[in-house]
């Protein structure tokens, strides 16, 4: 999941309330390092003029959370040769205490084009759990793409560089179940955002584990949580991954169910052609395997989607098919059909 904090939402209070729910925090507004004067060191969480939304050192020491990663993309600092300490030291201490053991900084404003390339390159490798390698490979690629530019040199990694393979595997084994349990707790409490955050962390750790058998269950829960949060685009991404996984191993009933829910999600996102496409795929599987109760339900849902997409003739045909199947299995759907036919 992701959130873009702009305008009124870009406040210190909102930032502190939200930052624990995201594994990666990226700040494009200015960060100021005031040498060793704590009052002059802060992270601005807003670009709005005359809005001094500054996250200060004392704010960082008031809140701790699970380890996350932060990128500060516009750092302004002053260097005093008489001091034997880096100007980054006070901020790094505060960020580390708050739960950010690894910090990526760019000194000064970024080049927008090169920064977009760097971001894509860096985070493509980042999920493998080694920020230092991610930085090195991204910088190496930028040098090749832009041989006359030194923009790559503006990026520096501070703090924890990452783990080797043995350390990553041990860390994943130790923390995977804990993240699943925390995600489940928030899911049951209907607190969708932290539920999604912890299940996503579990997925990240699963990449380092030999047993990936619980991946379908986690993607299913993530899709449901995003659906409940009404983030249908995100739910579609989770459900697409679930369909890809269950296509390989699961029963026809499980595959059809996954495709059916994907159709529902496309419908909620008002992408009716894709909704109809996937509902018809689910119908075909239910029909082939004679799963009549699900077949009738799918026809009814397809009718609703076709109706919403203004395909009234196709909607009526789908409702009639649902009615016929329900008659065969002793159920009734006269109410919905009659309601539609009288429009």
pLDDT in tens, 22-76: 778 888 888 888 766 667 787 887 766 556 677 777 777 777 766 678 888 888 8
Per-residue pLDDT of the chain (343 residues; tens, 9 = 90+): 556 666 566 677 777 777 777 778 888 888 888 766 667 787 887 766 556 677 777 777 777 766 678 888 888 876 655 555 566 777 777 777 777 778 889 988 899 999 999 999 998 888 766 788 899 999 999 999 999 899 999 999 887 766 666 766 777 788 888 889 999 999 999 999 889 988 888 887 787 777 888 889 999 999 999 989 999 899 999 999 999 998 877 688 888 888 888 888 888 888 878 887 887 888 788 777 765 555 555 545 554 554 454 443 443 344 344 434 344 434 444 344 334 433 4
Alpha helices in 20-154 (DSSP H): 57-60, 89-98, 112-126, 131-145
Among 53, 51, 35, residue whose Cα is nearest residue 43 = 53
Q: How far apart are the first and last CA of the chain?
A: 40
Provide the 3-class DSSP secondary structure of residue 262.
helix
Per the listing, tokens 């985070």 go with 123
Tell me the pLDDT tens digit for each residue of 208-223: 777 888 889 999 999 9
Percent of the chain residues past pLDDT 70, beyond the cut: 71
Report in angstroms the alpha-carbon separations of 208 from 128, 175, 244: 8, 11, 20
CA 222 – CA 201 distance, rounded (Å): 11
């Amino acid at each position: 999941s992701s959130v873009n904090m702009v305008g009124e939402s870009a406040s210190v209070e909102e930032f502190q309330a939200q930052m624990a729910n995201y594994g990666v925090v990226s700040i494009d507004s200015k960060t100021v390092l005031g040498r060793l004067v704590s009052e002059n060191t802060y992270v601005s969480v807003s670009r709005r003029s005359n809005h001094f939304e500054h996250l200060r050192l004392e704010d960082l020491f008031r809140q701790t959370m699970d380890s996350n990663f932060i990128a500060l993309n516009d750092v302004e600092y002053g260097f005093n040769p008489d001091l034997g300490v880096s100007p980054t030291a006070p901020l790094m201490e505060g960020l580390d205490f708050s739960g950010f053991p690894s910090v990526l900084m760019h000194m000064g404003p970024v080049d927008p084009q090169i920064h977009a390339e760097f971001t894509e390159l860096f985070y493509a490798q980042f999920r493998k759990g080694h920020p230092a390698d991610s930085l090195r490979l991204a910088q190496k690629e930028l040098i090749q793409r832009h041989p006359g530019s030194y923009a790559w040199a503006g990026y520096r990694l501070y703090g924890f560089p990452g783990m080797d393979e043995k350390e990553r595997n041990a860390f994943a084994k130790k923390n995977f179940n804990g993240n699943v349990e925390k995600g489940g707790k928030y899911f049951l409490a209907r607190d969708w955002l932290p539920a999604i955050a912890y299940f996503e962390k579990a997925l990240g750790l699963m990449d380092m584990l030999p047993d990936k058998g619980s991946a379908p269950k986690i993607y299913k829960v993530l899709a449901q949580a995003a659906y409940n949060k009404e983030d249908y685009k995100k739910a579609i991404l989770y459900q697409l991954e679930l369909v890809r996984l269950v296509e390989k191993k699961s029963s026809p009933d499980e595959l059809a169910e996954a495709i059916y829910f994907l159709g529902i999600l496309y419908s909620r996102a008002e992408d009716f052609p894709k909704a109809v496409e996937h509902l018809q795929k689910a119908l075909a599987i239910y029909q082939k395997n004679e799963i009549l109760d699900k077949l009738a339900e799918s026809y009814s849902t397809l009718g609703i989607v076709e109706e919403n997409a203004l395909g009234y003739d196709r909607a009526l045909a789908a409702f009639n098919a649902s009615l016929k199947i329900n008659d065969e299995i002793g159920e009734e759907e006269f109410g919905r059909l009659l309601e539609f036919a009288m429009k």
